[in-house]
Amino acid sequence: MKKIALFAMIAMVAMSCNNDDDNSSTPVNVDFLFTHNWDGSAIENSDFEVIQYTNAHGEELSLSKLVYLISDITFTNANGDVYDAGDYNLVNVREETNLMFTPNIQVPPGDYTVSFTFGFDDEDNIDGVYQDLNSADGGWNVPMMLGGGYHYMRMEGKFIDNTAAEVGYAYHAIRAADASTTPITLQDTSFEVNLGTVTIANNTEIEVKMNVAEWYDNPHEWDLNILHTVLMPNFDAQVMMSENGATVFSKGAVTQN
């Protein structure tokens, strides 16, 4: 026991020595914290299954599920050097899993433009190859008849329709697919989110905010009465989701601890 204590002390001393030696130029990891709000009001687990939001078109709605994929977090500095781990993260808002993500890459401290891809771009959207995504949520896959690959987002809940009935909706974002043509028409509807410039130092954490209300607005005011289900095979709906997505994400707090 005494030996272990001694060892622990020595190890701590050794580690702190290391830190002192080289703190300014050693490449560092960067943490990302994903937070979610509806026009500024934070969305927590307890907010799910409560009809409490009103979208731009005027429908009252709840969330029951909000799971989405981001990939290719990229750091670009003024010299044009690009750092991209090429990995991905599946955020589950209700279950509060993967809200924190550290891309598997280290970047030298400095100023960077930070961006990521919502969903998978075509290069990454390869059918069935990611075992963790095949195993997540009963299979995060998109059926082959819609071109295969993976979901970008599953947002589900209930809304009050124009007959005052409570109806389920499934706002699922995928690569746009029109299966009525031969061959199938596919359009990459993933999009790049640019968070702007961030100063990266040791222990930088970047908050990425999703304003869920924006999925229903700007440029397309979303009418759930018409577009609440069977949106995966709806090519135009997918393009609209992608366009609405442009204003969904923003940079929140950047902290250096």
**Contact pick of 152, 157, 235, 237 for another protein (by CB under 8 A):** 157
Burial 23-41 (b: 16+ CB within 10 A, else e): eeeeebebbbebebebeee
**Single-letter code of the amino acid located at 201:** A
Task: Judge contact between 199 and 187, C-beta under 8 A.
Answer: no
Start-to-end CA distance of the chain, whole Å, equals 33
Cα–Cα distance, 106 to 84 (Å, whole number): 9
Integer angstrom CA distances of residue 37 from 75, 176, 193: 25, 26, 17
Q: Is 236 in the site for another protein (CB under 8 A)?
A: no
Q: Is 180 in the site for another protein (CB under 8 A)?
A: no
**Contact pick of 42, 78, 100, 144 for another protein (by CB under 8 A):** 144
**Contact pick of 187, 229, 247, 250 for another protein (by CB under 8 A):** 229
**Contact pick of 112, 114, 118, 158 for another protein (by CB under 8 A):** 158
Q: Is 139 in the site for another protein (CB under 8 A)?
A: yes
Binding span for another protein by CB under 8 A among 108-116, 153-161, 217-225, 243-251: 153-161
Q: Is 226 in the site for another protein (CB under 8 A)?
A: no
Minimum Å gap between C-beta 197 and another protein is 37
Total residues interacting with another protein, rule: CB under 8 A: 42
Q: Is 2 in the site for another protein (CB under 8 A)?
A: no
Minimum Å gap between C-beta 174 and another protein is 10
Q: Is 17 in the site for another protein (CB under 8 A)?
A: yes
Minimum Å gap between C-beta 155 and another protein is 10
Q: Is 135 in the site for another protein (CB under 8 A)?
A: yes
Cα–Cα distance, 138 to 253 (Å, whole number): 33
Binding span for another protein by CB under 8 A among 77-85, 127-135, 188-196, 248-256: 127-135
Minimum Å gap between C-beta 131 and another protein is 5
Select from 87, 173, 96, 72 the least CA-distant residue to 130.
87
Beta strands 30-38; 60-61: pairing state: unpaired
Which lies closer to another protein via its Cβ, residue 162 or residue 255?
A: 162
- Residues of this chain that bind another protein (CB under 8 A): 3-4, 6-7, 10-11, 13-14, 17, 48-49, 64-65, 127-128, 131-132, 134-135, 137-139, 141, 143-145, 154, 156-158, 165-170, 172, 229-233
